[in-house]
Amino acid sequence: MDCESRQPVRVRYIGVIGFMSRRKLILIAALILAIAGTLVFGNKIRRHIRRMRWENEPIRAWMSVPFIAHTHHVRPDILYQAIRVEPRQHDRRPIRNLARAENRPVADVMHDLEKAIADARQGP
């Protein structure tokens, strides 16, 4: 027989290698999915804890009315109405300055804001 006419001997390793690579691919995909799920749900938990912390944060003199409205999920106009102050566009004045402008003690303004938040949470 002629050397050129012989068929080369095929070794059937491709099936084993293909099986191993598919198995590794599945494990890698599962690992990536687990890491992604951990990151997504970890971020949700972090945001929830942070929100709970801010919702329970007492009102301070340095806070602005829009900041308080945002953290306590109340409309700003309700809070401005409670402290009897006319809101300005993009008003970021701290409560301390609002109280000084109205010649009122800061504690009274904070008390009015807390009462308005409690009333708003109870609903109509």
Two structure tokens written together for 83: 């402290």
Nearest CA to 109 among 57, 61, 58, 54? 61
pLDDT tens figures, 31-87: 999 999 999 999 999 888 877 766 667 889 999 999 999 888 899 999 999 999 888
Taking residue 105's Cβ as centre, other Cβ atoms within 10 Å add up to 11
pLDDT tens figures, 99-109: 999 999 999 99
Whether residue 11 has pLDDT greater than 70: no
Question: Tokens 């951990």 correspond to what residue?
Answer: 38
Per-residue pLDDT band for 8 (boundaries 50, 70, 90) equals: low
Amino acid 90: pLDDT: 86
Share of the chain above pLDDT 70, in %: 79
Nearest CA to 95 among 71, 85, 26? 85
